[in-house]
A and B are shown apart, each in its own frame.
Chain A
Amino acid sequence: MDGDDDKVFRALADPARRLLLDRLHAESGQTSGRLCEGLGMSRQAVAKHLKVLEEAGLVVPLRRGREKLHHLNPAPIQEIADRWIGKFERGRMRALADLKAELEGESDG
């Protein structure tokens, strides 16, 4: 999904879209009607923002009964965190593993 990073960042660059994500984080699985409540945004504006979020993979719509429920997908944000934060952790673990292998190798020989 490397090519889609741009879509994720563009989607996150808008405060209204971040607000929608916050609402879905607080309660995942909402209809667009419910998401409109108390937001001061038109239904059309919410629908447009949801479309951008869906295309970036940040929101996943699911049909349940007659309703279309919107869910937050944490995967793209987790991948961003892994890319710039998790890698440091992994590098440190690998360094420790290498050190362990080296020290144990020495004691064998």
Chain B
Amino acid sequence: MAESRFVYVIYIRTTPEKLWQALIDPEFTRKYWGDTWQVSEWKVGSSWKIMMPGGQVADVGEILEIEPGRKLVLTWRNEFRPDLKEDGPSRLTYEIQAHGDAARLTVIHESETPLSRLIQAVSLGWPAILSSLKTLLETGAALEMTQSWKQPQGS
């Protein structure tokens, strides 16, 4: 296998519209995504970045595909860890499908770099973030562990 890929599929008792909002709305992401938020015009070709609580840029990229409530594809390059930045750009895909009283979210984070350290690092972060997102949407409160910023493991 030449590339690296993280895949996660989660069912959340919510609507695709609310889930979409939760994935991109700064007020929302700060609650479950380590107090970070994303800045973008959310149009194909526009830039995209994740901001850390201190105001530094965590990751940068460009929107490749956007279909509100259904699909988002963007490039993602780490900015704050030189070892991860070296890996070059990766690609993140969100796909949302209605599934009964729930929404099915597929997250694919992939890189053409074999054994990408960036993909290894995000693979440690995504499960907690997505589990917290689910808990927040279903119960109104995010998981304690993802409410504040923590330096990812291995750094």
Give A contacts to B, CB under 8 Å: 1, 27-30, 57, 60, 62, 69, 71-75, 78-79, 82, 90, 93
User: Closest approach, in angstroms, between the C-beta of A53 and any C-beta of chain B?
Assistant: 12
**What interface size band does chain B fall in?**
10 to 19
Q: Determine whether B14 belongs to the interface, using a CB cutoff of 8 Å to chain A.
A: no
Chain B residues with CB under 8 A of A90: 143-144
Q: A1-B102, A29-B3 are in contact. Are A73 and B127 (CB under 8 A)?
A: no
Residue of B nearest to A1 (CB): B11
Q: Is the interface of A mostly helix, strand, loop or mixed?
A: mixed
Q: A78-B131, A82-B131, A90-B144 are in contact. Are A60 and B1 (CB under 8 A)?
A: no
The reply to whether A60 and B11 form a contact with Cβ atoms under 8 Å apart is: no
Chain A residues with CB under 8 A of B3: 29
The reply to whether A73 and B9 form a contact with Cβ atoms under 8 Å apart is: yes
Within the assembled complex, what's the spacing in Å between the Cα atoms of A70 and B151?
31
Chain A residues with CB under 8 A of B97: none
Chain B residues with CB under 8 A of A79: 131
User: Closest approach, in angstroms, between the C-beta of A17 and any C-beta of chain B?
Assistant: 17
The reply to whether B8 and A74 form a contact with Cβ atoms under 8 Å apart is: yes
Q: A60-B106, A78-B131 are in contact. Are A73 and B143 (CB under 8 A)?
A: no
Question: Which of B1, B3, B7, B143: most chain A Cβ within 10 A?
Answer: B7
